[in-house]
Chain A
């Protein structure tokens, strides 16, 4: 480690404590015992000095003391190949796993009580552990959805060419150590003060024509892309960029980035707590689409070493100067994405329906309507969805299955070997269930009166599209997760805005009369209905949906004439919107999501 002392330490002597004498050895042992107890309390993992293992625990320093993976890597790697390093958020300990025992013992003997990398330059205290905290090893193959890294996209000659297009001032900052990366813009300037581009003020110099070979190459690989904006970033070792999302309203998708001169690890983070380090090699092309572009932040941690995958385990990769060319297309108009939490366009749009009004809207235009139409509803509902039946039938004997929003109990009593309980808001629909002999109770899907973790399966079919804002839709999902046991699964169906996703859904097919002119309804023709300051369009039955929030009429015919009409409130879902809501929660994993005849559907499992 002496040859690459990137920590700024002056000499090896200063970094190490002197060899302890007999008396202070006892003191050290006492301190270590104390630390071991703290580790066990913090992580539940016992550690000792008497039973050497491959797992070396740094007992008195971790992320909460400012110790970084980089420093740990640098301190331990010279003793042998490392399998993994486990840094625990908010904890004052960490775990270093060696490939073999002899190396672990070697490191222990040389470093314990001597190497001063703990807080305030104190020496670190070590231990051995039999087990490790339950965190998954970093898998560099796992990437955020929509992200692609194409290695060797350009040759070394092309790398030279691109580098020659921009001259960065090496002396900027005086002593040659700049605090921040340097940036140059082409086409449009990205203004960090407004976090956007001034779309009306293009720069004199556009994207250099020398880059054109890239677009031809992309085209030959099936991607038609021509950027009108380029940002060039110049990073010295130790420099980074904070986690950020490229402003939704500023740029279209995809975002493209070519990496020059040095490899790097980019950190992608999702709001549900997921963190995926992605290895981006020199001369590669990174393409960010969909979720990775809109719903994950990306950034570069300022440090001089990256922990990267190697054939044997992990290794440290020293950073060199890196230049990135990021190519983007300026977006015209507002962003229409479904990834709302990082979307500036969404934040500017009209506020969501407030909880107070949402509750009233649901009460009048959902609950009351189902009470009124319960009998007719019972006669006219479609056949059960085959995938819902399969889900219910897949439940093992003795399972407890909860049907949230069970309606007339269409999916109850199907699997004779499970105990199924149904619940619904509607008294009249539940009466129908009782007639069939099912176990039911009245409740709202926003607060399900069941104990935590009792259900092996939950189904919620055509229910949460009746909730009038996103907070309530999330709340209903959090209730499903709460009642599930770990390992239990839930299935949700909601109406899709796109009724024509694969082929005509049965809902549209029924519109025989209007089949030829699917798009003959324009927004001007629409009839609107106002409820307590909320004005929403009334949908024309058997047509494509033009809006996400709307009233859908339920019409009754009595002896040939229309006798009554009821307006039901619906929030119809965009593609991926249901996934987006479920992924908000970090204790579930999506098993599958699909489209079935006008519905978006998702199966997820509770994992912790």
Chain B
């Protein structure tokens, strides 16, 4: 929203000017749409959608980046996950490795297992693709690692 400037503004403006900076940062490669985020997202606020979960995934490209492994963090996150949704999502994007379908009881001390979870949760990023509402088929594009979950006025 731009306004034409009036002389009255010019007078009052001086104390609150903002300098236009040169855009210094270039888009880096740090794109992120993680399966951990996917595990939390839903389309349930759409009109007519009751659960809206889990969202389907169509991948155009993914990226694998190494992230520091923090076993304590991973074992605390696990109870907050919908495990079967994570497993399916990892399967969909071909990153399942040999992640077990059922969550074992004593995962806290199973370092190998935690490492696998760490990998699918945090090291795999969907760069471009789309998420799909399971009930309406509405597609939510992922561009540059950012899912666009915005709904139109008539969808809420």
Where the two chains meet, the residues of A that have a C-beta atom closer than 8 Å to any C-beta of B are: 359, 364-365, 368-369, 372, 375-376, 379-380, 396-400, 417, 419, 421, 423, 425, 427, 430-432, 434-444, 446-451, 454, 510-514, 527, 529, 540-542, 553-558, 562-567
Contacts and interface: CB of A to CB of B under 8 A. Distances in A.
Contacts of B41: 441, 449-451
Given A368-B1, A369-B1, A449-B42, A397 B144 contact: no
B128 interface: no
Contact of B3 (A398, A432, A439, A565): A565
Interface stretch (B56-64, B71-79, B94-102, B109-117): B71-79
Nearest to A541: B16
Contacts of B6: 527
B48 to A, nearest CB: 13
A451 B42 contact: yes
Given A449-B43, A454-B40, A542-B16, A444 B146 contact: no
B18 A554 contact: yes
11 contacts: A372-B1, A375-B23, A400-B77, A417-B70, A441-B146, A441-B148, A447-B151, A527-B6, A557-B20, A562-B9, A566-B1
Interface string B1-32: 11101101110111111111101010110111
B34 A439 contact: yes
Given A397-B73, A441-B41, A566-B3, A557 B18 contact: yes
B149 interface: yes
B73 A441 contact: no
Interface string B69-94: 01011011100100000000000000
Contacts of A365: 1
Interface of B: 1-3, 5-6, 8-10, 12-21, 23, 25, 27-28, 30-34, 36-37, 40-45, 53, 70, 72-73, 75-77, 80, 144-151, 153, 156
Q: Is the interface of B mostly helix, strand, loop or mixed?
A: loop
A446 B151 CA distance: 10
B45 A449 contact: yes
Contacts of B70: 417
B15 A542 contact: yes
A419 B8 CA distance: 48
A541 B15 contact: yes
A397 B72 contact: yes
A418 to B, nearest CB: 8
